[in-house]
Amino acid sequence: MTKTLSNMIALVVCVVAVHITYIGYIRPQASLVLEASRQAGQSAPRHLVVILKDYEQEICLILMLWGMFLILGKCLAILREQYLFSVDLLEESTEEPEETAEAEAAEDSLGEFHGLNSALKTLEALPPDIRETPLVKTLMTSLRRFLITQDVQNTSDAIESSVEALALKQDAENSMIRYLIWAIPSIGFIGTVRGIGQALSQADQALAGDIAGMTESLGIAFNSTLVALLISIALMFMLHQLQRLQDNLVVDTQDYCEAFLLNRISKGDDGHPVKLESSPSLSVGRN
């Protein structure tokens, strides 16, 4: 709900900011430029404010800013979580003194999983903003599966299903961005239809020798399409960069779980979980 509310607030801010810019600068300047060209007996110049002055371009700019907000927000969220992949989230909880581990194994056949229980509790005690990251959620799901089934294959299947669900969730969350990229050219085509319609309605004036109105209407048609296509190209590029980050996040999550979790719970010849040499410990915290 908080993310949805922030997105709606961002949309309102984009609407207000763009509309104020239009009524305060773009449309007054465009009127001055067009009036000067009429008095000089010239056609409408290809000035930036003239190209942007119509309502279709205003709507396209609003959607562009909102789409950029959505894309950049997702990109920054992924980049803020990258430091977690350099931290061994299971190291301190799973590594115990050798004497303690042997004593527990002799006392109870389930004692070898005490470290994993401790690891799960440690993950559950992390701050909410870290606990809700895809990596930590996948680790927690996989640890619970192993503690219930005590089977490495089931744990591997849990990791695979978790990363597949992560990929599907990310794709679903991008649906609004894809809709905006589709809607912006459509709005531009609406401006094209409107401009051509106005131009055709002024055909009699053009036949009488006054082509100013027709050329201005055709300018509406072509300007709206031009702006919409340029914006959609830019947003599509940003979307592809976001999808690249998301794909890397999915792959990194699976690789991390295999390296730091599956290697620990894989059993050796003695039937006990193998303790692998881990990377130097790093403190778990926000950068």
The predicted-structure confidence for 159-181, as pLDDT tens digits, reads as follows 889 899 999 999 998 999 999 99
Residues paired with 267 in a beta bridge: 273
Which parts of the chain have pLDDT scores under 70? 1, 41-44, 91-115, 203-214, 267-287
pLDDT of residue 268: 39
